Amino acid sequence: MKNYLEIKDLHVNVEGKEILKGVNLSLELGKVNVLMGPNGSGKSTLAHVLMGHPGYEVTKGKIFLNGEDITNMKVNERAKKGLFLSFQYPIEVPGVTIYNFLKSALKAVKQDKISVFQFRELIKEKAKLLGVDESFFERYLNEGFSGGEKKKAEILQLLVLDPKMIVLDETDSGLDIDSLRTVAKGVNSLSLNNKCVFLITHYKRILDYIKLDKVFIMINGKIALEGSAELVDHLEEKGYGWITEEIVA
């Protein structure tokens, strides 16, 4: 199957310090891919660079989405191309309801006309899938939300926008077991035939609920190893030290 996302020799600086040191990565449509690695290895930096965060300087390399070079594209342009990033720490937006936020986001990304009735039915359908009450729509985005509620809001956004390239940056961080299952349920409900999921995580526990296809390990700003789902069990048992030793050897 054709690679949907390709990263070639990507080098990235943050405040003058090189964080990504030659990342090479290829992801296919229809697959759930997982990126793991120790703290400070560059995982979240990669997620932000994929979305086009202006605070990250690409000094070398290219990023291709469906064969198109998006290395220098702005955030909104990438979103219109079907790229979605779920943040580790979603921000609060006082005064903006989830309903209005989702409606504006859908209009900006899809640029399709949708009636008020159609939109209401769409978000009701997605909320029901996640077990979210409709009163949730009228709350201000992430204001006073628990960690689990913030993640529910982001997964609801994911389901409504229906992007093609989905990057989840430590979406499971700090979640209790019920919230973790909600996140996994949202991911598992996606029709993956025409989608590519890139899940970044520290922990194995969310992977107990999501069927994954490929695992990538990032060490010191590079992809050090890739393999099948069984690789996660090796990490659980041995940590990351053995990978570093193999690279050195």
Name the domain count of the chain: 1
Percent of the chain as helix, strand, coil, to the nearest 5: 40, 30, 30
- pLDDT at residue 95 above 90? yes
pTM comes to 0.89
CATH code, domain with 105? 3.40.50.300
> Which positions ≥6 away from 109 have C-beta within 8 Å?
79, 80, 161, 163
**Cβ neighbour number for residue 152 with a 10 Å cutoff:** 23
pLDDT in tens, 189-207: 887 778 999 999 887 788 8
Q: What is the pLDDT of residue 211?
A: 86
pLDDT in tens, 101-111: 999 999 888 86
Q: What is the pLDDT of residue 18?
A: 97
Give the best-scoring range by mean pLDDT among 16-30, 109-123, 197-211: 16-30
- pLDDT at residue 248 above 50? no
Q: What is the pLDDT of residue 220?
A: 92
Q: With pLDDT > 90 as the criterion, what percentage of the chain qualifies? A: 58
**Lowest-confidence segment of 4-18, 88-102, 134-148, 176-190 by average pLDDT:** 176-190
Q: What is the pLDDT of residue 245?
A: 62
Q: What is the pLDDT of residue 50?
A: 97
Range of the domain at 97: 3-248
Provide the terminal-to-terminal Cα distance of the chain, rounded to the nearest Å.
33
Half-sphere exposure of 243 (CA within 13 A, CB side): 23
